[in-house]
Structure 1
Amino acid sequence: MNRAATVPAPSGPMMPFPRMGALGLLIVLVLFVLTPSALRYSYNLSSFAPGVAVVAVAVWGLATIGIVPGPPRAGWANHFLVVAVSCGLIGAHIALTYLRGEPELGRPLTSLALLGVILTTTRHVGFAFFASVPHQRIALHVLLGLFLVIAVMGLLGIAPRSELISERPLYPFTEPSHFAFTLMPFLIYGAVTAGPVLRLIILAVAAIMVILLKSLSLAVGLILAGACCLNGIALAIFLLSAFAGLSMLDLTYFTDRLDFAYGNQNLSMLVYRQGLELIQTSLEETGGWGIGFQRLGFTNLFTPSSNIIYALTGADLNLRDGGFNAAKLITELGVAGIILSLWYLVTLTRMVIRLRGVATGRLLLSDGTCFALAAFVGAAIEVFVRGAGYFTSTMLLGLAAIPYLRLSGRKALIHVAH
């Protein structure tokens, strides 16, 4: 059967919003993605949460007045029910943790209120960015190019002053790992939807960025992007070529971060090992219950790696975020965190398979649905490699993909015959 001739053009959920085209999508998405990092960078904020709350509510407002696409009216009751049940279960965990002897309620309840607001906006955020608009692919590829500009500026040392910046800031990101996990949805989308030649160019440029920026998070993200868009043989050739190229370089920076021996004092490795130790210690000390929502870094839970980090730096680096979000989730929510992490891993695998189908031509999806899948998959770097807490623009995009895909997935997905 001739695929191109017999398969109709895919159609995702398209809402009537004549005010926004590709340029409008690009502007709003740039502000959405970069504002939380820019506020944290400029005002020395301890987290991305204030900026994420601002952009989430702003997108909700823009969708409400019709400037950006909004969700259909049907389904609101189910959405609010899911948000209420989710917040209710976390609230019950907070209450029972308090009854178990946790003396502090202010931070958990404040964070729960913020979570409720953000979860409520996910439906609007999803349709604002994932619903199809004319020339959507061009806008998203341009945004991918903007990340390249940010990387080049960082390599040239062009960055405003900030008390939070590391040795290698990439404005508006304070460090390469934050740049890496924010880039992931756009890198995956760009690689999946590009033609064969452009796809290889995108992956090659990303590989060069890995070497120049010396970012292990970006390296893992590049492998994930390759897994989403290359078939088995092409992926094997890509990985072999990458390893052959890397073998000619000084890989000490990367190998130190993969050496988990207790004699290694590399901070990145210590932070990741700290996350693993926090999971084990929390589960053992609380009987699988967890230390409580948003309590990490505010209790007396420390590990051998935590003590080494403090001895080396004089600070409890990454103790509040656990190093990666799965560590934070499981440490705070115990068995419930394990269940959520496993659900994400299983769903992630399914989404990667769908994206591979798009890249290899076995599936046709709307550009918006591809972007939603890429956003969900891209959050994996924060969940399993390097995170910055629950409230980041990347995590919000990943969460927003869930209600969007639930409402649009079956209509937007077309199985292509061989």
Structure 2
Amino acid sequence: MTNPTKVGLSVFFVFLYLNFAYQLSIQIKKNDSKDFFHITVVLCRVLLFIGIVSLFFKLDVLGYSAYSKSIFTFYEPSHYALVLVAFLMPSFYIVSYKEKLLYFFILLCFGLVFPSVIILIVAFLSAFSILNKRIFLLSVIGAVLGFLMITPQTEQLLYFYERLNFSENTSNLTALVYMQGWYDAYYSFIETTGIGLGFQMAGENTETWINYRIYDLSGGYMNRNDGSFTASKLISEFGVLGVFFVLSYLIVFIKSIRAIKNGIRNKNIDFSMISNFFIISYVIEMFFRSAGYFTIGTLMLFVGIMLRYFGNAQINN
């Protein structure tokens, strides 16, 4: 059932996000790109420091210690990863190779110890985008060997097995919620013949076996409104147009990856690179884990798009 207040507030926030992204992209463009890259390095180091402290101490502040896998100021590792990735990517680009490898090692530790599949995806996305093929391959081999050495027959190994078990028989809620995102997108598309359920109406399609399974295991429906990841929410709510949005993002994502590889060869540090990093970092929210439309990742995506397609016009005006 449509909630006019929710839809109205959401439309307001869309315009607010677009305006803020527009103004921020202008300010970024007016200043030295190197300064902005260095700001991302500082923010990335602060977030990594928070993660390291949370590995060893449960800070009993604002109730975060009540959550078994909390990272201070974040209730769960995936929330931490979604904020970190936006600043990690440009930071990872300009720091020394030794620091790149240190970042990668720290993220692997976070992913294995907390544990968190999303943090591991962030680590490998960063390494794949920026490290050369030989170093990336060695890093992957080292990570796999480290994983096998650290987690044989432990709870962490069981955790990763359960999170990556996408069979119909799984009882892992995280895996089921992720599968639910694809099921809801598909059935919403079919039920509305490609029109979509409407803005902020994700989860209003007819329940299927996976929704009931989650309800039986948890006592309630989980993550139906946010779709679990943005692609699911877009397709559920906008149908064919949502598919177009997702495919358009994939095309821009591939172009950004290629541009970053070229930028590494040419030692390019400019606003186009900032744009590329903001765009590719959003792939986590688009296809793996999201908290809805209104996140820091979405804001940085808008900034990246405006830097790429409207940057020169903004400065000229």
TM over 0.5: yes
Question: Given that residues 354 and 363 in structure 1 are in contact (C-alpha distance below 8 angstroms), is that contact kept between their aligned partners in structure 2?
Answer: no
Distance 1:139 1:334 in 2: 39
Which residues in structure 2 correspond to 1:180-199 (within 5 Å)? 180-199=81-100
Question: Which one-letter code corresponds to 1:400 in the other structure?
Answer: V
Q: Which residue of 2 aligns with 1:232?
A: 133
* More helix as a share of residues: 2
Aligned residue among 250, 257, 276 for 1:345: 250
Change in CA separation of 1:204 and 1:288 when aligned onto 2, cut-off 3 Å:
same
Q: Which residue of 1 aligns with 2:301?
A: 398
RMSD between aligned alpha carbons? 2.3
Q: Which residue of 2 aligns with 1:121?
A: 20
How many percent identity over aligned positions? 25
Q: Which residue of 2 aligns with 1:284?
A: 190
Change in CA separation of 1:323 and 1:339 when aligned onto 2, cut-off 3 Å:
same
Question: Given that residues 159 and 171 in structure 1 are in contact (C-alpha distance below 8 angstroms), is that contact kept between their aligned partners in structure 2?
Answer: no
- State the shift of 1:242 in Å: 1.3
* TM-score normalised to structure 2 length: 0.89
Q: Which residue of 1 aligns with 2:115?
A: 214
1:273 matches 2:179: yes
- State the shift of 1:318 in Å: 1.1
1:154 matches 2:54: yes
Change in CA separation of 1:301 and 1:110 when aligned onto 2, cut-off 3 Å:
farther
Q: Which residue of 2 aligns with 1:308?
A: 213
Larger Rg over CA atoms:
1
Q: Which residue of 2 aligns with 1:320?
A: 225
1:144 matches 2:44: yes
Distance 2:17 2:43 in 1: 24
Q: Which residue of 2 aligns with 1:262?
A: 168
Question: Which one-letter code corresponds to 1:169 in the other structure?
Answer: S
Question: Which one-letter code corresponds to 1:375 in the other structure?
Answer: F
Q: Which residue of 1 aligns with 2:72?
A: 171
Question: Which one-letter code corresponds to 1:314 in the other structure?
Answer: G
Question: Given that residues 2 and 201 in structure 2 are in contact (C-alpha distance below 8 angstroms), is that contact kept between their aligned partners in structure 1?
Answer: no
Residue by residue, what CA displacement relative to the aligned partner does 1:230-254 show, whole Å, maximum 9, x if unpaired?
2222222221221121122142211
Residue by residue, what CA displacement relative to the aligned partner does 1:111-169 show, whole Å, maximum 9, x if unpaired?
12221222122211223346544644333212111111221333311142349974322
Distance 1:154 1:345 in 2: 34
Question: Given that residues 159 and 169 in structure 1 are in contact (C-alpha distance below 8 angstroms), is that contact kept between their aligned partners in structure 2?
Answer: no
User: Structure 1 unaligned runs (5+)?
Assistant: 1-101, 411-418
SS at 1:395's partner residue?
helix
Change in CA separation of 1:105 and 1:165 when aligned onto 2, cut-off 3 Å:
farther
- State the shift of 1:284 in Å: 1.4
Question: Which one-letter code corresponds to 2:69 in the other structure?
Answer: R
Change in CA separation of 1:404 and 1:231 when aligned onto 2, cut-off 3 Å:
same
Question: Which one-letter code corresponds to 1:192 in the other structure?
Answer: Y
SS at 1:364's partner residue?
coil
SS at 1:247's partner residue?
helix
1:112 matches 2:11: yes
Count of aligned residue pairs for this structure pair: 306
* TM-score normalised to structure 1 length: 0.68
User: Structure 2 unaligned runs (5+)?
Assistant: none
Which shows bigger deviation, 242-251 or 321-330?
242-251
Change in CA separation of 1:110 and 1:137 when aligned onto 2, cut-off 3 Å:
closer
- State the shift of 1:372 in Å: 2.8
